[in-house]
A = this chain, B = another copy of it.
């Protein structure tokens, strides 16, 4: 059987420990090409670089494995990876392992998950992985067997076209992880603090800070699964239509 071609990216940048852990796993499965941002791109969401050009650089190449860093965002990396570096469709795109949660609505801010969504958009199966630990020295080991299992199943069975998977891993020792739960997105928002500080010229500036407020963490959500030490898997679609609301708004069509 032909080995699958796997494209790897992330949003913490090519030097982050999380992507190293993921690369180690996917190299067991196929030919691996890494195209990842040359610097941290956390919180970049689905941003694309339109006002300036992008570049890439080869870092390492051997039989069955190659690594490139690129300027730009995680979504740029997927586009560049497919069209310029591979000049072919990968069989799978994996993104991460992100340092920090992308559960619930955090997916909207996430560069890691945007990269997976971008792949889904062109019909390539994609998975974003995140560990619930922001620190540089986060321990990615406990989640690795689950990541291996999920990648293996997706390579074998595929996932429905134009969807991708959002996988989050609780930051606990391996023997405390209870298994995998396939879930829906929890709901919530960030209650921003916007911390005010003053520069030496006494002009104010603001740092985004804040705390996450959950408004749906019922059983069945990723938030619930993670709080209960399960690995959460949420299938993600690109359609953001609130279908149930369409009829409620039909009045708008009666334009005077």
Q: Note all chain B residues with C-beta closer than 8 A to A197.
A: 53
Instruction: Among B203, B205, B236, point to the contact of A241 (Cβ < 8 A).
Output: B236
Knowing A108-B238, A242-B235 are in contact, say whether A255-B149 is a contact too (CB < 8 A): yes
Within residues 188 to 207 of chain A, which ones have a CB less than 8 A from any CB in chain B?
Answer: 189-190, 192-194, 196-197, 203-207
Whether A243 sits at the interface, judged by CB under 8 Å, is yes
Contact status A117-B108, CB under 8 Å: yes
Number of copies: 2
Q: Which of A25-33, A59-67, A78-86, A90-98 contacts B (4 or more CB under 8 A)?
A: A78-86
Q: Is the CB of B242 within 8 A of A146?
A: no
CB nearest to A51 among chain B residues: B40
In the complex, the answer to whether A80 meets B236 with C-beta atoms within 8 Å is: no
Query: A155 contacts the other chain (Cβ, under 8 Å)?
Result: no
**Binary B-proximity of A227-256 (CB < 8 A = 1, otherwise 0):** 000000111111111110110111111011
Contact at A83–B194, with CB atoms within 8 Å?
yes
Sorted from nearest, which 3 A-B pairs have the closest CB atoms? A45-B46, A237-B242, A235-B245
Chain A residues within CB distance 8 Å of chain B: 40, 42-51, 53-56, 75-76, 79-80, 82-84, 105, 107-109, 114, 117, 121-122, 145-146, 149-150, 153, 157, 159-160, 162-163, 165, 179-185, 187, 189-190, 192-194, 196-197, 203-208, 233-243, 245-246, 248-253, 255-256
